[in-house]
């Protein structure tokens, strides 16, 4: 276990980075430490944490903008927004149940991993709502990208580059996010269908309707599959659109409507992948694929004895199965065959070290990635080997 260093301010982060650069010692970069089980373990004597950098630094509800230091717990951000009737757009997950941790996810960690929940299918990913970043590069310099207003000058978008870089390009110290009003209510239409192909057909019909579906998931059950479609907005709008949506999807199967409280709890469970958490020693894969291919990927996983659930209209397939290299090879091959990509999301450390946890990059992309890494972290200090074996 590496020693965790958690400076209380940005100057402290800079000092640690500069000392590591002088000593040529790599650093494991983390926020609150809630997702240490994600990707490959980083071999470093010291972990640099942003948990000491907390607090909202700017909140302008009328401009739909919030800024916070990177170590600020996600729940603190959500609470501040809720007081003004607003919310984060991408419905970012906590994933404590997946990784068996109690540490709160940090807003910087959410951005660094580009984690998004069910609302991503209609409102975009977390990176789409990052308006500005401050981060420390491998030379110990402060870099600012973007700003604190919705209209920004053009140029190299480092915000999107850092979002989803898993701490390998820089240490994020502050983020600025666009937010939106929180819907007054929600309701979810559940449709019982015979199989996953029928579920995806129902979800596609709902998403293609004019009724503003903001969540579309498929959950296999004993003998059938449940297709779930969510509506959010003012209560009269949700009631009207739900009636119309039920009519459009009436031929797919038996229907039931979950009202606001039950609906919100259901989508929290989908967001946190709770249906697949029952067996703690299983590995979990996250497969991104075109929605029409979701049932094929799911069928291949179930043939291995795996359990599945689908989100994003079928475009995101979660798979839980035994943590073996054989299963990993089969699941990644199935995703690749369907033009998708599989990520080993949770697994024992031994498996995460033995297999590629992320899809291999095409040679031209890998070359560009290496040049970006060299520009931002020339000494290779940050999270070496975290995404791919060095």
Note the pLDDT tens digit of each residue in 228-251: 999 999 999 999 999 999 999 999
**pLDDT for residue 153:** 47
**Taking all residues of the chain, what is their mean pLDDT, rounded to a whole number?**
95
Report yes or no: 169 and 372 within 8 Å, Cβ to Cβ.
yes
By DSSP bridging, strand 46-49 and strand 3-5 are parallel
CA angle 149, 151, 154 (to 5 degrees): 120
- The number of angstroms, rounded, from the C-alpha of 192 to the middle of its chain's C-alpha atoms is 28
Name the least confident of 80-94, 101-115, 149-163, 358-372.
149-163
pLDDT of residue 163 exceeding 90: yes
Question: Mean pLDDT across the stretch 199-210?
Answer: 98
Both structure tokens of 376: 């931002």
HSE value, Cβ hemisphere, 13 Å, CA-based, for 326: 5
pTM of this prediction? 0.94
Note the pLDDT tens digit of each residue in 47-81: 999 999 999 999 999 999 999 999 999 999 999 99
316 has which bridge partners? 288, 311
Helix/strand/coil for 317: strand
Both structure tokens of 365: 């992309």
Which is more confidently placed, 59 or 389? 59
List the alpha helices (DSSP H) in 10-106. 10-23, 74-82, 96-99
- CB atoms near residue 55 (< 10 Å): 11
Both structure tokens of 369: 């990635």
pLDDT of residue 345 exceeding 50: yes
**pLDDT for residue 156:** 62
Report yes or no: 39 and 357 within 8 Å, Cβ to Cβ.
yes
């Amino acid at each position: 276990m590496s020693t965790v260093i958690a400076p209380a301010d940005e100057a402290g982060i800079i000092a640690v980075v500069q000392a590591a650069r002088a000593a040529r010692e790599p650093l494991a970069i983390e926020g609150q430490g809630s997702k240490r089980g994600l990707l490959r373990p980083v071999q470093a004597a010291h972990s640099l944490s942003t948990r000491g950098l907390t607090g909202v630094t700017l909140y302008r509800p009328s401009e739909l903008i919030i800024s916070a230091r990177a170590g600020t717990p996600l729940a603190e951000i959500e609470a501040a927004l809720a007081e003004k009737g607003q919310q984060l757009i991408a419905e970012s997950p906590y994933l404590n149940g997946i990784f068996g941790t109690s540490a709160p996810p940090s807003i910087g960690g959410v951005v660094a991993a580009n984690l998004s929940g069910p609302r991503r299918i209609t409102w975009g990913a977390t990176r789409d709502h990052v308006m500005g970043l401050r981060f420390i590069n491998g030379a110990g310099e402060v870099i600012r990208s973007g700003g604190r207003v919705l209209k920004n000058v053009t140029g190299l978008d480092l915000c999107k580059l850092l979002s989803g870089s898993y701490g390998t390009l820089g240490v994020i110290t502050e983020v600025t996010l666009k937010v939106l009003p929180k819907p007054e209510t929600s309701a979810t239409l559940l449709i019982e269908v015979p199989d996953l192909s029928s579920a995806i057909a129902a979800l596609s019909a709902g998403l293609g309707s004019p009724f503003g579906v903001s969540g579309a998931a498929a959950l296999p059950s004993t003998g059938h599959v449940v297709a779930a479609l969510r509506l959010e907005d003012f209560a009269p709008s949700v009631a009207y659109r739900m009636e119309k949506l039920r009519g459009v999807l009436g031929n797919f199967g038996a229907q039931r409507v979950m009202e606001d409280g039950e609906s919100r709890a259901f989508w929290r469970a989908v967001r946190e992948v709770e249906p697949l958490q029952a067996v703690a020693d299983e590995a979990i894969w996250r497969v991104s694929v075109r929605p029409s291919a979701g049932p094929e990927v799911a069928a291949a996983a179930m043939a291995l004895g795996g359990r599945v659930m689908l989100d994003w209209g079928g475009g995101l397939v979660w798979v839980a199965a035994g943590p073996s290299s054989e299963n990993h090879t089969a699941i990644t091959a199935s995703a690749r065959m369907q033009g998708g990509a599989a990520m080993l999301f949770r697994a024992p450390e031994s498996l995460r070290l033995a297999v590629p946890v992320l899809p291999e990059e095409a040679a031209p992309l890998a070359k560009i990635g290496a040049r970006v890494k060299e520009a931002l972290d020339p000494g290779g200090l940050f999270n070496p080997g975290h995404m791919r074996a060095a």
